[in-house]
């Protein structure tokens, strides 16, 4: 999987060099390249924003630098695909609070893609014509991380990239851990039961006895019941 990111703060994505995602990059399972949107400006101030048509507070990202940046991404993807053809269209992800909700299902879908490009907006967002124009070369997905507002798309893109990249085959050493966790497809969408490790008594607090029993059926039953209880209390929306 190739991931390209365009942002006015490409340094945000340095953190992707750490941990399992960083190792996947080193191992050649993924490429991640973060680009500075201002490289596609041509004025002295490297301007990327302007006032909104129709009035209102805040600034809007100008379409011209975005158009040139995405042209460059498209050209580099085309060149890579000439070496190694793939059948799927590249996907342009635009993190925005007005996007479709990001879920584990979205992460699964994106993890099967050969090329992801992230367009990280700031201010009040990117001139909408950029998404319209990009639809000629990309499957465009406007995605929201949740019902709250961040200062820009960078942190949302980081979260999406981590959720997606860990599903790419080979990135997580033990694929069984992907199956059991909360929100995994096929668990009936229940939250995961609490977990414990040694020592069996810590500061006077005991691990639930059933987990020490070695009785696999009872343990599975306890975990299922805990999952159902937690989901009912914390996330009743998942049960409907």
Q: Which stretch binds ligand ADE (CB under 6 A): 75-83, 145-153, 210-218, 227-235?
A: 145-153
Q: Which is nearer to ligand ADE, 144 or 187 (CB)?
A: 144
Alpha-carbon distance of 24 to 165, in angstroms, equals: 9
Please state the closest distance from residue 103 (CB atom) to ligand ADE, in A.
13
- Contact call for residue 57 and ligand ADE (CB under 6 A): no
Rg (CA), the chain: 22
Tell me which of 144, 182, 187, 226 binds ligand ADE, using CB under 6 A: 144
Alpha-carbon distance of 175 to 184, in angstroms, equals: 12
- Contact call for residue 79 and ligand ADE (CB under 6 A): no
Q: Which is nearer to ligand ADE, 98 or 174 (CB)?
A: 98
Write each residue from 93 to 122 as x if it is in contact with ligand ADE (CB under 6 A), else as -, in one continuous string. Answer: --xxx-------------------------
Q: Is 217 helix (H, G, I), strand (E, B) or coil?
A: helix
Q: Which stretch binds ligand ADE (CB under 6 A): 58-66, 75-83, 148-156, 210-218?
A: 148-156
Output the CA–CA distances (angstroms, integers) from residue 142 to 58, 119, 233, in the order listed.
20, 10, 31
- Contact call for residue 90 and ligand ADE (CB under 6 A): no
Burial 108-133 (b: 16+ CB within 10 A, else e): eebbebbbbbbbbbbbebbbeebbeb
Output the CA–CA distances (angstroms, integers) from residue 69 to 2, 17, 48, 195, in the order listed.
16, 23, 12, 45
Q: Find the helix or strand (DSSP H, E) in which 232 lies.
A: helix 216-234
Please state the closest distance from residue 157 (CB atom) to ligand ADE, in A.
8
Q: Which is nearer to ligand ADE, 40 or 102 (CB)?
A: 102
Please state the closest distance from residue 168 (CB atom) to ligand ADE, in A.
21
How many residues are given for the chain? 240
Tell me which of 83, 148, 173, 214 binds ligand ADE, using CB under 6 A: 148
Q: Which stretch binds ligand ADE (CB under 6 A): 142-150, 170-178, 207-215, 227-235?
A: 142-150
What phi and psi values does residue 207 have, to the nearest 5 degrees? -70, 140
Tell me which of 29, 59, 150, 168 binds ligand ADE, using CB under 6 A: 150
Q: What is the DSSP letter of 84?
A: S
Please state the closest distance from residue 142 (CB atom) to ligand ADE, in A.
9
- Contact call for residue 123 and ligand ADE (CB under 6 A): no
Q: Is 198 helix (H, G, I), strand (E, B) or coil?
A: coil
- Contact call for residue 156 and ligand ADE (CB under 6 A): yes
Q: Find the helix or strand (DSSP H, E) in which 69 lies.
A: helix 63-83
- Residue ranges in contact with ligand ADE by CB under 6 A: 95-97, 144-146, 148-150, 153, 156
């Amino acid at each position: 999987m190739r991931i390209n990111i365009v942002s006015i703060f490409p340094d945000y994505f340095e953190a992707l060099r750490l941990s399992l995602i960083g190792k996947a990059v080193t191992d050649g399972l993924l490429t991640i390249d973060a680009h500075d949107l201002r490289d596609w400006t041509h004025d002295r101030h490297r301007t990327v924003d302007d006032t909104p048509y129709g009035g209102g507070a805040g600034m809007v990202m100008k379409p011209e630098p975005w158009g040139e940046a995405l042209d460059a991404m498209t050209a580099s993807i085309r060149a890579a695909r000439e070496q190694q053809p793939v059948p799927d269209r590249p996907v342009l992800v635009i993190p925005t609070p007005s996007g479709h909700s990001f879920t584990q299902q979205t992460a699964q879908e994106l993890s099967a893609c050969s090329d992801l490009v992230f367009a990280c907006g700031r201010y009040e967002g990117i001139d909408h014509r950029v998404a319209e124009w990009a639809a000629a070369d990309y499957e465009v997905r406007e995605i929201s991380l949740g019902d709250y507002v961040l200062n820009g798309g960078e942190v949302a893109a980081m979260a999406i990239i981590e959720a997606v990249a860990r599903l790419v085959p080979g990135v997580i050493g033990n694929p069984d851990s992907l199956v059991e966790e909360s929100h995994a497809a096929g668990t009936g969408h229940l939250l995961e039961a609490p977990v414990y490790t040694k020592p069996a008594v810590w500061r006077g607090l005991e691990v639930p006895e059933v987990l020490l029993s070695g009785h696999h059926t009872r343990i599975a039953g306890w975990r299922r019941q805990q999952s159902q209880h937690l989901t009912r209390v914390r996330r009743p929306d998942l049960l409907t």
